[in-house]
Amino acid sequence: MPIQLNQVYYTYNLNRPDSKRALEDISLTFDDHCFTALIGKTGSGKSTLIQHLNALLLPDSGRVQINEHVLDFPVQVKKNGKVNYRKMKKLHKKKLPQVKEIRKTVGIVFQFPEYQIFEETVLKDVSFGPKNFGCTEEEAIEKAKKALTMVHLDESFYERSPFELSGGEKRRVAIAGILAMEPDILVLDEPTVGLDVRGQREFFHLIQDLYDQGKSIILATHQMDVVLRTCSRVIVLDQGKVVLDSTPLKLFQDKEFLSSSSIEPPIVFSFAMSLIERGMPIRLENIRSTSTLAEEIARVKGGKQ
């Protein structure tokens, strides 16, 4: 269990009039080599939770454990009888030598990751991370090249300016920048927003590929077709709480839960459900995409298999 969250609470602007509770009593375990979806409507706490997975945010109470590293709040810093959380966090962040280790274990790809690109060539940009973590120039370049290969960007890209690339290519450069730090766990926060259909398709192939190469994937997304196609587990957040922890297959059949939430099954799935309602004996558990649905229908209708 590389990541474990135990009764994690988090509030933005704590003790201020505009304070906003974003996470409430979150207890979750993410296993080795998982492919997990994090879903829930805008504002439900997905990004906040994600930032706890590599110590960008620290819990107000509860604990986060990443491999052997524990993040919690044993210290109480008080001022006028009140806990001064801000000060406490500052202190704590300084005293967190494990943060570097954690950031090497868990890599986060944010929305619009291309905004984090800043070097003048692709190779320089991707090797920035490893260099920052103490690799020599040569080691860093080595790791950068390996990462670029993983995202299918070949040598011809090394010396190009990242700013001249297409949206999809930029995003791959940004991900390579994270991969170069060789994290075991890759966390992606709505990573395909703004990509066109082909860009999205390529991107999800890439993530699937990285999973097959042994990475754990945690993916916040609104794209239920992707959840159905790729994820083996799905966690639903609502107002900062975990309201469901299940599989895509179970979730998309749970009419009661769906009607009380804003989640809609992907069109492949609802289409398959309609066929079943009309009496076609296809097996839902085999359906993850348009092509698997077509295969199921062909099986029933006696097309070629």
Partner 1 sequence: MRSKKKELELTKRDENIPLDSAIYLSNLSFGYETGKLNVKNVSVDIKKGERVSIIGHNGSGKSTLSKLIDGILVQNEGDIYIFGVKMTDENALILRKDIGLVFQNPDSQFIGSTVRDDIAFGLENNQVPYKDMDAIIEDCARKVDMEEYLKSEPSNLSGGQKQRVAIAGAIARRPKILILDEAGAMLDPKGKKEIRAIIKERKQEDPDLTILTITHEIDDAYDSDRVLVLNHGEIILDDRPEVVFENDDLLRSIHLDIPFSHKLAKVLRKNGVDVPEVKNDEELLEVLCPSN
261 binds ligand ADP (CB under 6 A): no
What x-and-dash track marks residues 31-70 binding ligand ADP by CB under 6 A?
A: ---------x-xxxxxxx----------------------
User: 14 vs 77, which CB is nearer to ligand ADP?
Assistant: 14
222 binds, among Mg ion, partner 1, ligand ADP, none (CB under 5 to 8 A by kind): partner 1
User: 1 vs 294, which CB is nearer to partner 1?
Assistant: 294
User: 125 vs 296, which CB is nearer to ligand ADP?
Assistant: 125
Kindly determine how many residues on this chain lie close enough to bind ligand ADP according to the rule CB under 6 A: 12
User: 47 vs 127, which CB is nearer to ligand ADP?
Assistant: 47
22 binds ligand ADP (CB under 6 A): yes
13 binds ligand ADP (CB under 6 A): yes
222 binds partner 1 (CB under 8 A): yes
Q: Minimum CB separation from Mg ion for residue 9, in Å?
A: 18
264 binds, among Mg ion, ligand ADP, partner 1, none (CB under 5 to 8 A by kind): partner 1
Residue 59 sits at φ, ψ, to 5 deg, of: -65, 150
Site for partner 1 in 186-215 (CB under 8 A): 190, 193-199
Q: Minimum CB separation from ligand ADP for residue 66, in Å?
A: 19
Diameter over CA atoms, the chain: 77
Binding site for ligand ADP (CB under 6 A): 12-13, 20, 22, 40, 42-48
